[in-house]
Amino acid sequence: MKTIEVIGELILNNEYTPLLLAAPEIQPFLTRAVQHQFDDEATRYFFDKKNRELFIDNMMLSASLYGDFGLVANLTNEEITAYKKRRDKLSDGGALFYSSPKDSDIIEIPRLSEEEWRDIFSKLLSEVGSSSSYHEQLLSNYSQYIDGSSSERYILHALMENIQDEVIRINFDYLITLRANEIIIGFLWENRLNDNKEDLFKGISIFEISGHEVIITNKDKMELAIDEEIKAKLDREVDLDEPIEEAFADEDAMIDSQLENDNNDDSTVSNWLWGISFFIIIKLIINYFNLLE
């Protein structure tokens, strides 16, 4: 298994590192977007290629601003106007559920897929080796996540449950970061201004409302209204011979996920995954100067 020092050297020598370090505000947002749980529709990340702006559609926040959902958000009028200006490009009439943005200039930022997480996990197992005392725990974590018995809903947390070894965790973070960075650079290259790699982040801005709180004023009304939204979506997109419960079985999971995100945003985790790179670099620099003493 790679040591922390080896991972640090690999990060320093990675071709994408200089590009990403040159975008200290944009990179964390894109990292968070790409690493966000692949099946979580409660939070979606977008890029307006015409205005070169990144923004988020937060389902609970959108629900509080469109229609009578029994929700209230503590936003100013200016914040509401700015949020709706972007949200209105995603669906007609503020509909909560949609497959793709109605505005062709809006592109959803790709995420690590379930298959990519599986590939990352396979590489981690190879690094750890079957002789490690954590090998069986890792396999158990993956099995429990797949069969739905894990206490963690997000694969990022589920795979590392009860894994206390710092080196294993850093190797996992490194593998995630490698693939995430490839996706980020590939996405920006597809939507580039020109063929100069140094200009990949040029002109990109972020619209994000931080510190907002969505308060449930009437849970029954919220659930009923969202049920109606789901039924309307199903009327348009699925065969209604199939029971509603089966066609959209994870409605409660989506609501619970968004409530959890609002109270404990996963941006801390996502930023930490990239932040480990800086930690490693700093540690290498300190070790270098210690050798000189």
| Tens-place pLDDT, residues 93-125 | 888 889 999 999 999 999 999 999 999 999 999
- Per the CB < 8 A criterion, the answer to whether 161 and 151 are in contact is yes
What is the SS3 string spanning 137-156?
Answer: HHHHHHHHHHHCCCCCCCHH
The Cα–Cα gap between 53 and 7 comes to 32
Model pLDDT, residue 241: 47
Q: Report the pLDDT value the prediction gives residue 134, as an integer from 0 to 100.
A: 95
Residues 6+ apart with CB under 8 A from 95: 229, 232, 233
pTM above 0.85, yes or no: no
Query: Residue 249 has what pLDDT?
Result: 47
Domain boundaries, the chain: 4-292
Q: Which residues contact 3 (CB under 8 A, 6 or more apart)?
A: 167
Q: H helices of the chain, where?
A: 4-13, 17-21, 26-35, 59-65, 77-87, 114-128, 135-147, 155-159, 166-190, 219-237, 244-247, 251-263, 267-292
Token representation of residue 218: 């009437």
DSSP three-state, residue 75? coil
Q: How many CB atoms lie within 10 A of CB 12?
A: 13
Amino acid found at 172:
F
* CB under 8 A, 24+ apart: contacts of 139-148: none
Regions in the chain scoring below 50 on pLDDT? 239-249, 251, 262-270, 272-273, 281-286, 288-290, 292-293
- What angle do helix axes 267-292 and 166-190 make, rounded to 10 degrees? 110
